[in-house]
Structure formats: C-alpha cells, structure tokens
C-alpha cells in the first residue's frame, strides 16, 4: 500500500513535460486575451463614459501589468541557478502572486474615490441607443471569453495559473456588474452607475486582500494540516522495517510547497552505510510527493534527548 501511495503522487517525466507545456499555453492565452479584451473594453469606456465600465477597463489594464509580473515569475522559476539560489526559486511564485494581488487591490481605492466624486457631481449618463447596442455586444462577448478562460485555467494546479483563473473570474463578475449598472443608469437612475462601481471596488479589495494574506502565510512557514502530517507519518513508518521509532514529523510552508523535517530512530548497532541508505531513500521518497519541495531526514539511536534545534520566536 505504501508503494501505491507514493505512485499516486509521482508523475512520469513525459507527463510532467506535457503539463509544463500546457501551463505555458494557459499563460500565453491569458496574456493575449487580456490585451485583446482590454482594447475592446477601452473602446466601450470611451463611447459609454460609464464609471462602472471604466472601472472594469482599469481592471483589464492592471491585468496586463499583473500578467507581466506573473509571466516574469514563471520565466525566472524555469531558469534555476544553483549557485545563487541553491534551493531553487519556488518562493518567487507566492511573491509574484502577492505583488499581483496588491496591484489589483489598489484598483478598489481608485474606484471608490472616483465614485465619490461622481456622487457629488450627480453626473448624468450619456443616452445613445446605437452606442448602447455596441456596449452590450462587446461587454457580453468579453464576459463569455473570460468565463471560458476561467474554466480552462482551473484545470491546472499551478498557483500562478490559478491566480490567472481567479483574475478571469473576477473579470466575469466586474464585467457583469459594470454592464448591468451602465444599462440601468441609462434607462432609470444616474446613481446606479457609481453604485455599481462601488460594488466592483469593494469586491476587488475583499478578493485580493484575501489572496495577499493567504500567500503571506505561505511564506512565513505555517504548519501543514494534520491529515497531511498523518500521511507523511504513515509513509515514514512503513518505509523500512528497521525504523523503531519516529521522533519528529514536521512540515511547514516555505513558498508554494512544504519543507519537511523527519527524525527517525534506528538500531544502535546498525552499520553506518545501512543507516545512511535508509535515510537517503526515505528522503528521496518524500521529495517525490508534489507538495514537498525539500525533505530533511535526521537519524538517531534514541529519542529521549532534547530537540535538535531551537524553537523560533
């Protein structure tokens, strides 16, 4: 059962290469779509002058900036430098996502300020049936494309692509609210448009603040959930019959994945070469799990001593 557990988390090299290719395609499609859809929404914003639509267009502008940030992060991670970055660049992933989310969150404050100005000025929307038809057609098309990208990007487990999926889903929401607010403001009351912009702003700030907090937790070393630690303990205990005791199983975030520290107890009279082989094979087995970036296995002959490392404050 242990071997089947490991196999469930191990992916052959050719499948990993195909997955990496698909992930790059998802990033390219997202970036191209962001450029094209921004141009379309910019035209609608100029023609309609709706604050809610303009807010959605500003979001697309930030998508381009954020897309560049995420592309640069993914590109840097694919070019390791073992001398300058001995343990890799995987921590660039949550850092890139934090920068991405922070940029998106600033949009909310900008929209709130502009909405307040429009409420005070009581700005009336421009009423032009022909422009209204163009606005509806373009915004509906943009929303459909963004929804298709949400479905496509959510197929991947890569955190960067999931950030794109979250961004596309955010666009679906803001496009829908912006279009509805613009149409209702034209046909009924002027204040519906800035109200829709305020809704977009609040949604923006709530969504991306949550993403920032989640990735900050990932960088500061939060412990893995109990079920993951239980899985590791089971795998370690069944790794070799000479393992007499498991002193420590510790897993904590260090970027997108976990660092794992394991202390095992082997017989006191075991030869060094055999003890080394058991520890090394256990390390390799643990690092095959996709959630684990690096594993450290410490071998001892008893478990009554004090902890090996000081506890951080």
Do 207 and 264 sit in the same domain of this protein? no
Do 144 and 273 sit in the same domain of this protein? no
Number of domains in the chain: 2
Digit-by-digit pLDDT tens for the chain (313 residues) are 333 333 334 455 565 566 667 777 777 777 787 788 778 778 777 777 776 777 777 767 766 766 676 667 666 666 666 667 656 656 666 777 777 777 767 777 777 877 787 777 776 666 666 667 777 787 888 888 888 888 888 877 777 777 778 778 878 887 888 788 878 887 788 788 788 888 877 877 777 777 788 778 777 778 889 999 999 999 999 999 999 999 889 998 877 788 899 999 999 899 999 999 999 999 999 998 888 888 999 998 877 766 665 555 5
Distance CA 266, CA 164 (A): 47
- 201-202-205-207 Cα dihedral, nearest 10 degrees: -110
Among 183, 201, 219, residue at a domain's last position: 219
User: Do the domain assignments include residue 266?
Assistant: yes
Q: Which of 56, 199, 200, 185 lies closest to 122 in space, CA to CA? A: 185
Polymer length in residues for the chain: 313
Query: Across the strands, what pairs with 223?
Result: 252
- 14-6-154-99 Cα dihedral, nearest 10 degrees: -90
Do 190 and 250 sit in the same domain of this protein? no
Do 179 and 194 sit in the same domain of this protein? yes
Q: Report the pLDDT value the prediction gives residue 266, as an integer from 0 to 100.
A: 93
| Predicted TM-score (pTM) of this structure | 0.58
Do 86 and 176 sit in the same domain of this protein? yes
DSSP 254: S
User: Do the domain assignments include residue 4?
Assistant: no
Do 29 and 118 sit in the same domain of this protein? yes
Do 211 and 78 sit in the same domain of this protein? yes
Residue 239: alpha-carbon gap to chain centroid: 33
Among positive and negative, which fits the CA dihedral 23, 25, 26, 30? positive
Q: Report the pLDDT value the prediction gives residue 188, as an integer from 0 to 100.
A: 82
CB proximity list for 53: less than 8 A, separation 6 or greater:
41, 44, 45, 135, 139, 178, 179, 182
Structural contact between residues 200 and 55, judged by C-beta atoms closer than 8 angstroms:
yes
Task: Check which CATH number belongs to the domain holding 50 and give it.
Answer: 1.20.1510.10
Do 235 and 143 sit in the same domain of this protein? no
Do 246 and 264 sit in the same domain of this protein? yes
For 185, the domain range is 11-219
DSSP 216: H
Do 161 and 282 sit in the same domain of this protein? no
Among 178, 196, 219, residue at a domain's last position: 219
Radius of gyration of the chain (CA): 26
Among 151, 186, 219, residue at a domain's last position: 219
Q: Report the pLDDT value the prediction gives residue 46, as an integer from 0 to 100.
A: 77
């Amino acid at each position: 059962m242990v071997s089947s557990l490991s196999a469930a988390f191990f992916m052959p090299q050719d499948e990993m290469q195909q997955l990496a290719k698909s992930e790059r395609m998802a990033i390219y499609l997202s970036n191209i779509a962001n450029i094209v859809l921004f141009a379309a929404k910019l035209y609608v914003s100029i023609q309609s002058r709706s604050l809610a639509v303009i807010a959605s267009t500003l979001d697309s502008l930030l998508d381009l900036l954020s897309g560049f940030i995420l592309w640069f992060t993914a590109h840097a991670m694919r070019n390791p430098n073992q001398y300058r970055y001995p343990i890799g660049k995987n921590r660039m992933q949550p850092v890139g996502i934090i920068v991405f989310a922070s940029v998106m969150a600033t949009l909310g404050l900008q929209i709130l300020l502009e909405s307040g100005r429009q409420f005070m000025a009581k700005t009336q929307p421009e009423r032009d049936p022909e422009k209204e038809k163009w606005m509806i057609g373009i915004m509906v098309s943009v929303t459909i494309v963004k929804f298709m990208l949400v479905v496509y990007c959510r197929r991947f487990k890569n955190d960067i692509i999931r950030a794109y999926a979250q961004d596309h889903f955010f666009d679906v929401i803001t496009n829908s609210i912006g279009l509805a607010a613009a149409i209702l403001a034209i046909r009924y009351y002027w204040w519906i448009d800035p109200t829709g912009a305020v809704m977009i702003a609040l949604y923006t700030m709530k969504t991306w603040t949550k993403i920032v907090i989640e990735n900050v937790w990932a960088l500061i070393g939060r412990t893995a959930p109990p079920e993951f630690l239980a899985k590791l303990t089971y795998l370690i205990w069944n790794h070799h019959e000479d393992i007499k005791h498991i002193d420590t199983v510790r897993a904590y975030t260090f970027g997108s994945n976990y660092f794992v520290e394991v202390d095992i107890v082997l017989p006191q009279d075991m030869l060094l070469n055999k003890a080394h082989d058991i520890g090394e094979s256990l390390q390799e087995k643990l690092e095959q799990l996709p959630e684990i970036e690096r594993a450290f296995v410490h071998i001892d002959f008893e478990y009554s001593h004090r902890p090996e490392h000081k506890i951080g404050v």
